[in-house]
Each structure stands twice: as structure tokens, then as C-alpha cells.
């Protein structure tokens, strides 16, 4: 992992260098949406857009961003929930699955684990309303250490335990079984490079309303990660999205609608497909250099066609966060992520932390 450490050191060194070029209003950098993608453990290897401002960078301007997201997932099919109902004896994933009878034609899944995902991105403005970017992710999937906190949190708010007490804490299990395919993973594989994504964003020429920005973005993700370890999809992925930003002075509204073009994932037995994803974000200044934001990401599941009704519905992921500007060019942000409405096709809870530098 020496190459990964050297990459992170190089990026952090660049973040610490004095900024050059045009100086912009610090508020401009903290009124964008938080870069939170789909956090569901099963979806980690697939490409998803991260929300961003519709406006492109000025010519020769750079933004380098490093953000890390931790997300805990505990999700299971209805058949497993039925079999675990009332069970309080903690077992490993394999022990739990050995007790469950799987009828022919029944799709079953159990996803219990935690993702630690760090993404390094670099954006550059090229003038003529064009911005290019690269995103390099590293992911570590395992049992994590947040199960105890989440169980106590659910108990305090009387949210129910969703049969968490029937499985071993901080132990990873990823199991998907259909008529034609079975995938099982129980052992962390360490931290690995994920699929690297390249994107191009074009802002439409100025409209009559100077406070409204519209842009189109195209992205492609190359299979540099391992699909077997859930760090990649094993195929070319990509997407197209339309973005809009409306500036109300101290508040900005961001919205996006995208089509994800996902390739075949052989280890999970998932065919190529098109997935729809959307996001809406509201960010407002709380002080001169601090903003607060609330956003929601909505997406179809890449697993909606495997015969599990829990994965057929869209996922709804809510993020609430803060951003703060240090000087003219350095910003830091943090956000808490929680699933809404549907609970078996999205991460239970997540946390994102990041820092960005403008040049």
C-alpha cells in the first residue's frame, strides 16, 4: 500500500500550499452540496454521481478534494427476517445462514458490514464553460466497530433492533442468493483501489436569469477495482446527468437528475443496466464562513431485478452537514447520513468528512 500512502501525502501537501490565481468569496466555496454518493454496501463497486454545483470552475482554476465516508449497513430479505424473528442468540453470518432453509425460487440476501471509503478528486476549469475531473477511490469493507453504538441508539429511541441482536457485532457478512447465482463474503480483504472515474461538465451559456446555472455532465468509470471484493464492478460504468443551481444570495438550491450506465458484474451475477439517480440539496449561510446543508439522494438499486422486493424500490438517503471556510481557498465539511422510507436497500447510517482546496 506504499503507492496509496504516497498519493495521499502528495495530495495533502498540495492542499497545504498557498493558493494562487483569482481570489473568490469564501461563501462561494461553502454553498455547494456535499459529495455524498450511495452508501449501501452492496453498491460500493458501482458508479454513482456525487452531487455538485452546476457552475463550472473558472479557466485554469483547480479544486482538489479529499473526503472519507464511513457507512454501516445491516439489511436482509424478508425471508431471513422471518427466520430471525425473536432470536437473540448472536451468531456469525455463516452460522445464521446455516439455520435458514432456502426454498427453490426464493431470492435471499443478508448484508451486514461497514464501508470506509476515501475519495481523492481533482477538478480543473478549462474555459469555454468546460470543467474536467478525476476521482480516485479507496475502500475498506469489513465488520466495522459501530454496531454497538447503532444498537444502543435504536434502543434509546425505541426504533427496534431489526434482528441485529441475532448476529455477531462488528462481523462482516455479504450474502446474495438467487436461482442462478450465489455470492458469499465473510472476511475483510483490506483497503484497495476502487474504480477510477473521469468526468466532463459543460455549463450551458448564460440564461436570462443570472442566478440560475444549468449544466450537463458525462462520466466514465474504468474497472481498476476488484468486483470480487466489491471494490469495483468489473466493467466499464458511466453516466449522464443534468444539474441546476439557483442562487438566492445566502441560500442555494441544487438539483440533479442522472442516468447511470452500469456494466455487467460477474461475481454478483448482475447484468448490464440503466439506473436512475436524483439529488436535491439546500445550502444556506449560517455565518460569514459557515454554512449548513440538507440534501437527499434518491436512486434505483442495481439489484432491483434479482427478485427481492426489498431491493425493487428506490432508496432515499438524507444528509445534514456543515461547511466552513478557512481563508480564501481552504474549506472543510462534515455530514451525517441516514436512510429514509426504505431500510433494506440503503445504509443504516453514515458519516462523511472532507477538505477541499482551491488553486
Q: What is the share, in percent, of the chain residues with pLDDT greater than 90?
A: 58
Give yes or no for residue 18 having a pLDDT over 80: no
Residues 354, 65 contacting (CB under 8 angstroms): yes
Domain count, the chain: 1
Provide the pLDDT for residue 2. Answer: 40
Contacts of 185 (CB under 8 A, 6+ apart): 172, 173, 174, 175, 229, 230
Residue 100's domain spans which residues?
29-358
Q: Residue 130: inside a domain, yes or no?
A: yes
Q: Residue 100: inside a domain, yes or no?
A: yes
Provide the pLDDT for residue 141. Answer: 87
Return the half-sphere exposure (C-beta side, CA atoms, 13 A cut-off) of residue 323. 28
Contacts of 350 (CB under 8 A, 6+ apart): 36, 39, 69, 70, 71, 72, 336, 337, 338
What is each CA distance from 144 to 73, 150, 188, in whole angstroms?
A: 10, 12, 10
Residues 220, 245 contacting (CB under 8 angstroms): no
Please state, in angstroms and rounded to a whole number, the distance separating the CA atoms of residues 127 and 81.
54
Choice between 308 and 91, residue whose per-residue pLDDT is larger:
308
Please state, in angstroms and rounded to a whole number, the distance separating the CA atoms of residues 352 and 355.
10
Provide the pLDDT for residue 182. Answer: 87
Provide the pLDDT for residue 302. Answer: 96
Report the candidate in 333, 352, 336, 283 with the shortest Cα–Cα distance to residue 63: 333
Q: Residue 70: inside a domain, yes or no?
A: yes
Q: What is the 3-state secondary structure (H, E, C) of the chain?
A: CHHHHHHHHHHHHHHHCCCCCCCCCHHHHCCCCCCCCCCCHHHCCCCCCCCCCCCCCCCCCEEEEEEEEEEEEEEECHHHHHHHCCCCCCECHHHHHHCCCCCCCCCEEEEEEEEEEEEEEEEEEEECCEEEEEEEEEEEEECCCCHHHHHHHHHHCCCCCCCHHHECCCCCEEEEECCCCEEEECCCCCEEECCEEEEEEEECCCCCCCCEEEEEEEEEEECCCCCCCCCCCCCCEEEEEEEEEEECCCEEEEEEEEEEEECCECCCCECCEEEEEEEEEEEEECCCCEEEEEEEEEECCCCCCCCCHHHCCCEEEEEEEEEEEECCCEEEEEEEEEEECCCCCCCCEEEEEEEEEEC
Q: Residue 137: inside a domain, yes or no?
A: yes
Q: Residue 13: inside a domain, yes or no?
A: no
- Give the domain CATH number at 194: 2.40.160.40
- Average confidence score pLDDT of the chain: 85
Cell of 19: 493558493
- pTM (predicted TM-score): 0.86
Cell of 142: 469489513
Q: Residue 311: inside a domain, yes or no?
A: yes
Kindly report, residue by residue over 23-51, the tens digit of the pLDDT: 456 677 899 999 999 999 999 999 999 99
Give yes or no for residue 9 having a pLDDT over 60: no
Give yes or no for residue 209 having a pLDDT over 80: yes
C-beta neighbour count of 323 within 10 angstroms: 26
Give yes or no for residue 156 having a pLDDT over 80: no
Mean per-residue pLDDT, 264-290: 95
Provide the pLDDT for residue 13. Answer: 45
Listed range (12-26, 82-96, 183-197) with the worst mean pLDDT: 12-26
Q: Residue 224: inside a domain, yes or no?
A: yes
Q: Residue 14: inside a domain, yes or no?
A: no
Give yes or no for residue 149 having a pLDDT over 90: no
Provide the pLDDT for residue 235. Answer: 96
Give yes or no for residue 74 having a pLDDT over 80: yes
- How many residues are there in the chain? 359
Amino acid at each position: 500500500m506504499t503507492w496509496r500512502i504516497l498519493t495521499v501525502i502528495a495530495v495533502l501537501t498540495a492542499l497545504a500550499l498557498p493558493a494562487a490565481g483569482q481570489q473568490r468569496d469564501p461563501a462561494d466555496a461553502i454553498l455547494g452540496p456535499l459529495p455524498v454518493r450511495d452508501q449501501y454496501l452492496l453498491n460500493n463497486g458501482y458508479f454513482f454521481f456525487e452531487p455538485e454545483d452546476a457552475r463550472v470552475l473558472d479557466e485554469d482554476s483547480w479544486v482538489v478534494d479529499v473526503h472519507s465516508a464511513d457507512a454501516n449497513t445491516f439489511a436482509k430479505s424478508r425471508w431471513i427476517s422471518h427466520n430471525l424473528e425473536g432470536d437473540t442468540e448472536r451468531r456469525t453470518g455463516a452460522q445464521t445462514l446455516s439455520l435458514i432453509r432456502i426454498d427453490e425460487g426464493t431470492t435471499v440476501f443478508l448484508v451486514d458490514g461497514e464501508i470506509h471509503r476515501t475519495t481523492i478528486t481533482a477538478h480543473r476549469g478549462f474555459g469555454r464553460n468546460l470543467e474536467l475531473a478525476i476521482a480516485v477511490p479507496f475502500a475498506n469493507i469489513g465488520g466495522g466497530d459501530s454496531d454497538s453504538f447503532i444498537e444502543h441508539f435504536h434502543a434509546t429511541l425505541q426504533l427496534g433492533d431489526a434482528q441485529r441482536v441475532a448476529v455477531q457485532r462488528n462481523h462482516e457478512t455479504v450474502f446474495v442468493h438467487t436461482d442462478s447465482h450465489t455470492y458469499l463474503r465473510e472476511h475483510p480483504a483490506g483497503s484497495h483501489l476502487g474504480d477510477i472515474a473521469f468526468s466532463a461538465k459543460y455549463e450551458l451559456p448564460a440564461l436570462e436569469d443570472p442566478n440560475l446555472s444549468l449544466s450537463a455532465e458525462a462520466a466514465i468509470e474504468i474497472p481498476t477495482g476488484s468486483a470480487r471484493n466489491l471494490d469495483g464492478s468489473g466493467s466499464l460504468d458511466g453516466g449522464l446527468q443534468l444539474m441546476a443551481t439557483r442562487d438566492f444570495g445566502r441560500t442555494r438550491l441544487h438539483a440533479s437528475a442522472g442516468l447511470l450506465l452500469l456494466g455487467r458484474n460477474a461475481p454478483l451475477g448482475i447484468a448490464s443496466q440503466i439506473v436512475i439517480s436524483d439529488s436535491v440539496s439546500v445550502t444556506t449561510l449560517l455565518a460569514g464562513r459557515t454554512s449548513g446543508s440538507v440534501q437527499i439522494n434518491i436512486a434505483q438499486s442495481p439489484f432491483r431485478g434479482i427478485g427481492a422486493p426489498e431491493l425493487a424500490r428506490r432508496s432515499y438517503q438524507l444528509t445534514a452537514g456543515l461547511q466552513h471556510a478557512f481563508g480564501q481557498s481552504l474549506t472543510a465539511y462534515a455530514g451525517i447520513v441516514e436512510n429514509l422510507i426504505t431500510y433494506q436497500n440503503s445504509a443504516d447510517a453514515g458519516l462523511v468528512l472532507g477538505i477541499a482546496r482551491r488553486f
